[in-house]
Amino acid sequence: MLKEHKRTLIITSIVTILPILIGVFFWNRLPDVMATHFGTDNEANGFTGKVFAVFGLPLILLAVEWFAAFVTAHDPKKQNISPKMFDFVLWIIPVVSLFGAATIYPYNLGYQTDITFLAELLIGAVFIVVGNYLPKARQNYTIGIRIPWTLANEENWNRTHRLAGYLWVTGGILMIIAALTGIVKTQWMLAIFILLVLVPFVYSYWLHVKRNL
């Protein structure tokens, strides 16, 4: 599977480490100690040295991407993982890496950045994209809602992923609307996130207990 996606893996790897080039370009303008973690109030609450922020973080993400690609390619049911789904797995980390660069570098260069707003948009978009894929995902051990009841029964897997797909697309749209309008506080966004994760879990267990699926 890795051979068939070699080109995509190379491209996504380059994108993942692209923030290194950005950091080198702005090296003399960046502080020696950089803010790398932020609270919901957009205030920095985590710091690290410039070398680690510029070089270390992207390289760690690159290692995570390759690990995820290796694990997915060696799934016992890899034949159930579609090429599009595998490509999606490969693009997750590069998007995270670019998002990190889009938040960390401007802040440390002295620009005002609404990091919470950007994070809410990203999370909403991820839920929409993943929600579109979930109903099409076939039973496997790497991608999807991998809990005991879905893995033990194919019908449970299919029903749980259909429900999760509708919920996640709807929830993602609501998250983006809420972020753009500012009508929902961050705490409520967190509550929506928890519900989107919890409801499919409970539904799968209900199918297992009540419907013997």
User: Do the beta carbons of residue 118 and residue 124 sit within 8 Å?
Assistant: no
Can you list the alpha helix ranges (DSSP code H) found in 26-153?
A: 50-51, 57-73, 83-108, 115-133, 148-152
* Region of poorest pLDDT, from 6-20, 66-80, 148-162: 66-80
Task: Write down which residue in 99, 131, 158 finishes a domain.
Answer: 99
Identify the band that residue 184 occupies on the pLDDT scale cut at 50, 70 and 90: low
Evaluate whether residue 147 is within a structural domain: yes
Region of residue 44 (left: phi > 0; alpha: psi -120 to 50; beta: else): beta
SS3 48: strand
Calpha distance 157→88 (Å, rounded): 20
Residues 50 and 122 in one domain: no
- Where do we find the tokens 């579609």? 82
Q: Output the pTM of the full model.
A: 0.87
Residues 50 and 93 in one domain: yes
Calpha distance 104→106 (Å, rounded): 6
Q: Mean pLDDT over all residues of the chain? A: 91
Residues 163 and 199 in one domain: yes
Task: Write down which residue in 99, 122, 137 finishes a domain.
Answer: 99
Decide if pLDDT at 188 tops 80.
Answer: no
Query: Can you tell me the mean pLDDT for 20-26?
Result: 97
Decide if pLDDT at 40 tops 80.
Answer: no
Calpha distance 63→69 (Å, rounded): 10
Residues 199 and 153 in one domain: yes
Q: Which domain holds residue 22?
A: 1-99
Residue 156, Cβ density class (10 Å: 0-12 exposed, 13-18 middle, ≥19 buried): buried
What is the b/e burial string over 85-100, where b = at least 16 CB atoms within 10 angstroms of the residue's CB?
Answer: bbebbbbbbbbbbbbb
Residues 211 and 123 in one domain: yes
Residues 55 and 118 in one domain: no
Residues 63 and 158 in one domain: no
Structure tokens that stand for 128 in this block? 């929409």
Evaluate whether residue 5 is within a structural domain: yes
Query: Can you tell me the mean pLDDT for 106-111?
Result: 94
Instruction: Tally the domains of the chain.
Output: 2
User: Do the beta carbons of residue 33 and residue 47 sit within 8 Å?
Assistant: yes
Identify the band that residue 129 occupies on the pLDDT scale cut at 50, 70 and 90: very high
Task: Write down which residue in 99, 125, 155 finishes a domain.
Answer: 99
Evaluate whether residue 89 is within a structural domain: yes
**What pLDDT is attached to residue 213?**
77
Query: Can you tell me the mean pLDDT for 71-80?
Result: 88
Which residue from 58, 43, 170, 188 is spatially nearest to 116, judged by alpha carbons? 43
Calpha distance 39→46 (Å, rounded): 9
Residues 212 and 155 in one domain: yes
Evaluate whether residue 107 is within a structural domain: no
Residues 207 and 127 in one domain: yes
pLDDT digits (tens, 9 = 90+) for 88-106: 889 999 999 999 999 999 9
